[in-house]
Structure 1
Amino acid sequence: MTLLLGVGGHDLGVGGGLHRPVAPMLAVAGQVPVGAWAYEFKWDGVRAIVEPSGGRTRLTSRNLRDITNSYPEIAEANGALGGLRAVLDGEIVALDERGAPSFARLQHRMHVARPSSMLVVSTPVHLYLFDLLELDGHPLIGEPYTRRRELLDQLGLSGGLVYAPPSFTADRITGADMLVAARESGLEGVVAKRLTSTYRPGQRSQDWIKTALERSAEVIVCGWKPGAGRRLGMIGSVMLGAYDEQGRLVYVGHVGTGFTEAALRELAALLEPLAIDASPLDVPAPREHSRDARWIEPVLVAEVVYRTLTPDGRLRHPSWRGLRPDKAPDGVYWHEAPR
C-alpha cells in the first residue's frame, strides 16, 4: 500500500530517521486540556509498536520485548495490514461482552509466549492503532499529530481485528464530554494530544496528557505475606515497591484485594522461584507491614488501582489488576513515595 506522502516529490521525513527498536511516546497524567488538542479514548490493554512487512507483522512491547508470537492472529493478519509497510503505535486489547477493552480478560493472554489455538479462539484480541510513525520507508515522527493522524485515517482501518479508533478535536467535542462518554462506555479514560506535537520515541511529554477515570499505578512486586482463614496456605497480600527520585526501592503499600483464587495460585507459582532471604527494599518497610513477609527479587511489575494516597505517600485501598510483563521494573518511579 502506497500513499502520497508529500508535495512536489518531497517526503515527510523531517526530524531524522526512525531508529530501531522503537520505544513508544508516553503521556503524563493530568486534567483534560482545552484548546488546540485532539482527544482519544484511553484503551486498557498492552502497548505495542506494530511493524507490518512482507505479509507478517512484528509486535514490540513498551519495554522493547518482541511479543509477536504471543498474538499470532495479529502477526499473521493479512486483511487490513496486508501489503502495508509501516511502523505504527497502538494497543492490543481483549474485549468484554459490552465490546469494551477488559484488562482482566487480556491477562489470560499476556503471560503466554505461544498460545494454543484453543486459547486464541476463547480469548481473542484486537489491535487498536492510534499513530503512524513511518510509511513506505518515510519517517513521520517529525510531522505534527494532525498530519500523522490524517495519513493513518487514509489507511482505511475501519474495524475488525485491526482498527483505528476515531480521534476528536476540540471544535467537535469538549474534553469533559469525552470523559463522560468514556465513563458511559466503560472505558479507562481520555488521552489528549496537542495538534502540533511531533512524535518523540521513548519520551514522556506534556504534549500528551492522559486523564484516567480511576487512579492506577505501576508497582514492583517485592514480596508477599501468608494468608489466613479462607486464604490459609495461599498468598494473603502482596508487598509493593517503586523507585523514588533518588533511585531507591521504597515500600509504597500492600494489596490483598482484587485476586481470584486462580490468580493467587498462578502468582504463587511465579513468585516461588524468585524467593530471597532478605528484603530487596533500600528503605525498610514499617515493621507492622513487613512482619512475616516473604521477600522476592524485585523483577515483576504489576498494576493496581487505588482511591487516594495516605499522608505518608502510600497507596490507600489498592486493588490488584494484574502483572504487567510488558513493563520493566527500572521504569517504575513513585514520586510521592515516603522518604
Structure 2
Amino acid sequence: MAVPYPVEPMLAVAGELPLDCAAYALEVKWDGIRTIAYIDDGVRVTGRRGTDFTSRYPEIAKAVAPLAGRRAVIDGEVVAFDPAGRPSFELLQRRMNVPDPKGAGLLGVVPVSYLPFDLLHLDGHTLFDLPYRDRRELLDSLGLDAPPYLPCDPAVLEATRAQGLEGVVAKRLDSPYRPGRRSDWWVKVKNLNTAEVVVGGWRPGKGRREGGVGSLLVGMYGGPFPAGHGFLYVGHVGTGFTDAVLDHLYRLLKPLEIGQSAFSTSLPREISKDAHWVRPELVGEVAFTMWTNEGRLRHPVWRGVRTDKVPAEVRREEQQG
C-alpha cells in the first residue's frame, strides 16, 4: 500500500481528565506546531491542511533517520526549548515562517526538536484502524526516542503543572486514528488557558509605538464550522508584544486593511474609535485568565501568529464538536 499523503492530523477536544481514567493514557501536551513526517525514499513534512513544512524544519529528517530505507508516516510536534529545557512558543515563532532557516542562520540559534507520538503507516501498512495502544508500541520499537505515554493519573497532570508545561492529552487506549477529525477519544487538559483568535483590526500605537500597531482587536467565529453565526468580537490584546513582533504584525496587517469592521458584533466605542479594520485572515494565539460573562477574554496576552491554523475554524473550544 502506498504511503498516504497528505494526512490531516487527528484533533482532540478540550476538557478534564476522563472519569474512566484506566481506559486512557496520558501524553504531555507540548507547546509547539503539529507536523506529519512522511518517510519514503526521503522525508517530507506537512502541517495542518497539508502545508509543506519540509524546508522549515530540516531537524525532522535527522530525528527520523533510524527509519532510512523504510516507509512510514509519523505524527508529532515540533518544539523549541528554552535554555532551561522548557518548551517556548515564543522561540518557535522565530522559525515558523522561515523557509530556509540554515540560510537565515537560525539552525544553531533557534534549534527545534521533533517529538513523535503516533505511527500512522509502516512498511506498506496503514495503521489508522489499529488501537492507539498498539500504534504506540510499534512507534516505541522504532528507536526514535519518542516521549513516553504515561498512566492516566491526576498526579501526572499535577507534575506538568509544577514544571510549567501546558498540560496533557488523554487518549483512549483503544481509539483508532481518524485524520482531520476532532474526537473525544482524545481530550486535551490544559494548565494554561490559551485560545486561537482571528485579528479583525488594530489600534495605532502611542509614544515609541506611534505610527504602527499598538494593540489588536480579535474575534472568533460562532456556531458550527464553517463559521455559522458570524465573526464575534472577543477582546482587545495590548500586551505580550516586542517591538519586532509589532513591526512584523504591521507588515502582515497593512495589506489586509478594509473600510469597515468585519465583526458581526459591536465593539465598545472607546476601543473602536481609532481602529484600523482588516480582513479576518490572520490567526494568532493568546493566553488569558478566564472568559467573562460577556464572552470576552480577560487579560489576554499575545503569544504569536499561528500560520498553521485556518481562520474559519477558530471558535471557542466548548463549541467544537
Aligned to 1:51: 38
TM-score for both structures, normalised by structure 2:
0.92
Contact 1:221 / 1:240 at 8 angstroms: preserved in 2? yes
CA positional deviation for 1:296 = 1.3
Contact 2:3 / 2:40 at 8 angstroms: preserved in 1? no
Instruction: List gaps (5 residues or longer) in structure 2.
Output: none
Q: Which amino acid is 2:143 matched to? A: G
Matching residue within 82, 91, 96 for 2:68: 82
Q: Secondary structure at the match of 1:330?
A: helix
Aligned to 1:111: 97
CA positional deviation for 1:80 = 2.9
CA positional deviation for 1:184 = 2.7
Q: Does 1:166 align with 2:148?
A: yes
Residues 123-272 of structure 1: pairs in structure 2 closer than 5 A: 123-158=110-145, 164-170=146-152, 174=153, 176-245=154-223, 246-272=228-254
Aligned to 2:11: 26
Q: Secondary structure at the match of 2:202?
A: strand
Q: In 2, Cα distance between the equivalents of 1:257 and 1:60? A: 31
Q: In 2, Cα distance between the equivalents of 1:60 and 1:262? A: 27
CA positional deviation for 1:36 = 1.2
Contact 2:40 / 2:70 at 8 angstroms: preserved in 1? yes
Q: Which amino acid is 1:113 matched to? A: P
Q: In 2, Cα distance between the equivalents of 1:31 and 1:335? A: 13
Cα gap change, 1:336/1:205 in structure 2, threshold over 3 Å: closer, same or farther? closer
Could you list the per-position Cα deviations for residues 19-53 of structure 1 after superposition, in whole angstroms to 9, with x for gaps in the alignment?
Answer: 53211110111111222110110000000111112
Q: In 2, Cα distance between the equivalents of 1:233 and 1:149? A: 52
Q: In 1, Cα distance between the equivalents of 2:24 and 2:280? A: 39
Q: Which amino acid is 1:86 matched to? A: A
Q: Secondary structure at the match of 1:241?
A: strand
Q: In 1, Cα distance between the equivalents of 2:268 and 2:123? A: 56
Contact 2:258 / 2:279 at 8 angstroms: preserved in 1? yes
Q: Which amino acid is 1:134 matched to? A: H
Cα gap change, 1:336/1:32 in structure 2, threshold over 3 Å: closer, same or farther? closer
Instruction: List gaps (5 residues or longer) in structure 1.
Output: 1-12, 159-163
Q: Secondary structure at the match of 2:247?
A: helix
Cα gap change, 1:228/1:53 in structure 2, threshold over 3 Å: closer, same or farther? same
CA positional deviation for 1:284 = 3.3
Contact 1:47 / 1:62 at 8 angstroms: preserved in 2? yes
Contact 1:109 / 1:123 at 8 angstroms: preserved in 2? yes
CA positional deviation for 1:228 = 2.0
Matching residue within 20, 41, 44 for 2:28: 41
Q: Secondary structure at the match of 1:120?
A: coil
Matching residue within 111, 120, 126 for 2:107: 120
Aligned to 2:307: 325
The more displaced of 223-232 and 61-70 is 223-232
Contact 1:50 / 1:59 at 8 angstroms: preserved in 2? yes
Q: Which amino acid is 1:333 matched to? A: R
Cα gap change, 1:193/1:336 in structure 2, threshold over 3 Å: closer, same or farther? closer
Q: Secondary structure at the match of 1:152?
A: helix
Q: In 2, Cα distance between the equivalents of 1:335 and 1:329? A: 14
Could you list the per-position Cα deviations for residues 145-193 of structure 1 after superposition, in whole angstroms to 9, with x for gaps in the alignment?
Answer: 11001100110112xxxxx1000123xxx1x211122123221111100
Aligned to 1:10: none
CA RMSD in angstroms, aligned pairs only:
1.9
The more displaced of 17-26 and 88-97 is 17-26
Contact 1:92 / 1:126 at 8 angstroms: preserved in 2? yes
CA positional deviation for 1:84 = 3.2
Q: Which amino acid is 2:102 matched to? A: S
Q: In 2, Cα distance between the equivalents of 1:86 and 1:336? A: 34
Contact 2:75 / 2:116 at 8 angstroms: preserved in 1? yes
Sequence identity percentage:
52
Cα gap change, 1:307/1:322 in structure 2, threshold over 3 Å: closer, same or farther? same
Q: Which amino acid is 2:287 matched to? A: V
Q: Does 1:284 align with 2:266?
A: yes
CA positional deviation for 1:69 = 1.2
